Amino acid sequence: MAPSPTRPRESYTVGIICALDVEKAAVEVTLDEEHGGVEKMAGDDNSYTFGRVGQHDVVVACLPAGVTGKASAATVAKEMIRSFPIRAGFIVGIGGGLWRDKADVRLGDVVVSQPDGMHGGVVQWDFGKMEKEGVFRRTGTLNKPPRPLLNAVQGLKATHRRKGGMVYQHLKEMISKYPVMEEEYGSPGPRQDELFKRAIVIRVVPPVRSATGRG
């Protein structure tokens, strides 16, 4: 994708921060258009990729190599906001699976947070403490996303109900444009999926005893 001419710094109102280069590369291939470099503010050490997604001009940054964590992410976000008039920011990355009976979330799923009950949409893992019998009690909360983003989520959900998921289509387009990414980002197929190995679970149920003590 050949970069288009540089756009004014003021046009970049959406920021995306990735923790790893493997995530940043995936974000970059989703750009509908890639732009040339834009001058940063003095003292901004971030390395950016510029482009457009739909009607929004987007700036993408990654945490420094080998320097991950909340403090590093906060520094990258602070410098991005200082250089560009960011109105909506996103943390995009790869998360682990969190299987539950209520929400079957597994590695490889695409997850978009939204408020639910007493939760703002994202629960920070260290906003709480472990109490007796392994009970985790939250001691803080995070604010919910801004209203325009929540409206966009509803639009995505409605489109998904009408047209189904588009993830596989996006992956096919990515591989056609960047064939070198197929080995690392392409689906290995169900026969080569090593994330979940089928296993037989045997549940041992103790015998029920009667009031006389006999089984």
Mode of pairing for the β-strands spanning 98-99 and 104-105: antiparallel
State residue 211's pLDDT score.
46
Higher pLDDT, 196 or 183: 183
Average pLDDT over all residues of the chain = 80
In-domain check, residue 122: no
Is the residue at 208 inside a domain?
no
Task: Indicate the number of domains in the chain.
Answer: 1
Backbone angles phi, psi at 179, to 5 degrees: -60, -30
Say whether 15 sits in a helix, a strand or coil. strand
Instruction: Using pLDDT thresholds of 50, 70 and 90, give the confidence band for residue 79.
Output: very high
Which domain, by its residues, includes 54? 7-94
Q: Examine residue 152 and state whether it is found in any structural domain, yes or no.
A: no
**Segment among 31-45, 67-81, 194-208 with least mean pLDDT:** 194-208
Residue 79 lies in a domain: yes
Element (H, E) at 52: strand 48-53
Tell me whether residue 72 is in a domain.
Answer: yes
Lowest mean per-residue pLDDT among 1-15, 33-47, 123-137, 168-182: 123-137
> Alpha-carbon distance 173 to 176, whole Å?
5
pLDDT digits (tens, 9 = 90+) for 29-59: 989 999 988 888 999 999 999 999 989 999 9
Instruction: With respect to residue 126, please indicate whether it lies within any of the assigned structural domains.
Output: no
Q: What is the pLDDT of residue 115?
A: 84
In a domain, 141, yes or no: no
Classify residue 101: in a domain, yes or no.
no
Confidence of residue 210 (pLDDT cuts 50, 70, 90): very low
**pLDDT tens digits for range 80-122:** 999 999 998 988 877 766 666 776 776 667 777 788 777 777 7
